[in-house]
Amino acid sequence: MKQPQKAYLLLADGTLFEGYSFGETGTTIGEIVFTTGMTGYQETLTDPSYYGQIVTQTFPLIGNYGINSLDGESDSSAVKGYIVKEWCEAPSNFRCEQTVHDFLCSHHIIGMYGIDTRALTRKIREHGVMNGMITTETEHLEVEKALSEISEFTITGAVEAVSTRQPAVYGEENSRYHVALLDYGCKKGIIRSLLGCGCRVTVLPCHTTAEEVIRLAPDGIMLSNGPGDPADNPQIIEQLKKLCGSGIPIFGICLGHQLLALANGAKTVKLKYGHRGANQPVCDRTQNRVVITSQNHGYAVVAKSLNPDVATVSHHNANDGTCEGVRYHSFPGFSVQFHPEACAGPQDTAYIFGEFIHLMQGGNHHAAE
């Protein structure tokens, strides 16, 4: 049996974890985050929202049903690295096409296993997300130099890096509704959900102007999920301000939710360690019930910064009280922080796409043409 290759994880505070390498070899630096999902690791690895981040899985065994060519949320991977307690070398599932190791190698992602992921998760929960480095070049590691490189790392240009370069159309020409989807790092699940609601979807690059969107005369506008600090996108926010005055219904998810809030004068804040996993309880204030949601975000809308004449908080997180949804009074629009298209994950909030359809039924939205 081949001896596993040693790997180190060095955190910004100088903590060093020793484990083993799988996937690509080499050195990578990113923001260390953790996700609590028991399944859905393929969706995690292909979610563009993880751009610039080294993802730690808290569930101890990853890869037991392998990887297939159908379940990815994008055609590539944006993660900077991948950390697990143990990975499965012999997955068993009729849909399996390759192992997690094979996937990491094919996408040039450096992975690490065999460390105490519980200890790493506790550190992030206590101290907050921090930068870190995974390296297989253990014999040549210069700690002081590495710490300097780690401290200098920042996630920049995230949305531009993962957004589509060219428009693309999905669905039938004679579909009842036409949705313009602004791609800030869109998951395929959002497109599938819209198609399932009878929509034709035009996916647009992130910097598409408001005038170009309005010219398409869509029945609704979807703002997708995506990576990075929402406040780092001033040009996008300016275009959203114009779209809010178009009269066209708008629905935002995750980053789209945050950007829409910023466009309406609210503020966002970086959370200590974010919400990442498929088990986040959310209170739906409009329906007076609690739903279990799938989430992946490190920033949140500051509820108190919302102008009550413009918007109202519609959902809040049952664990920490943070804003999870907003309804707008000044234009036909709403947004949620969680993922109603969750896959893998709970389907409790799939009804929200129905609310978007209902909003698109509410009158003539093409007055701005």
Q: Show which residues are catalytic.
A: 254, 339, 341
Count of residues making up the chain: 369
At residue 348's C-alpha, the angle toward residues 306 and 278, to 5°, is: 80
Please, what is the angle between helix 255-263 and helix 234-244, to 10°?
A: 70
Q: In this structure, what token pair is assigned to residue 347?
A: 């389907």
Cα distances (Å, whole numbers) of residue 295 to 50, 77, 253, 316, 363: 12, 18, 10, 13, 32
Interacting residues of 294 by C-beta distance below 8 A, sequence separation 6+: 37, 40, 277, 278, 280, 338, 339, 342, 344, 345, 346
Cβ atoms within 10 Å of 139's Cβ, excluding its own: 6
CA distance 98 to 91: 8
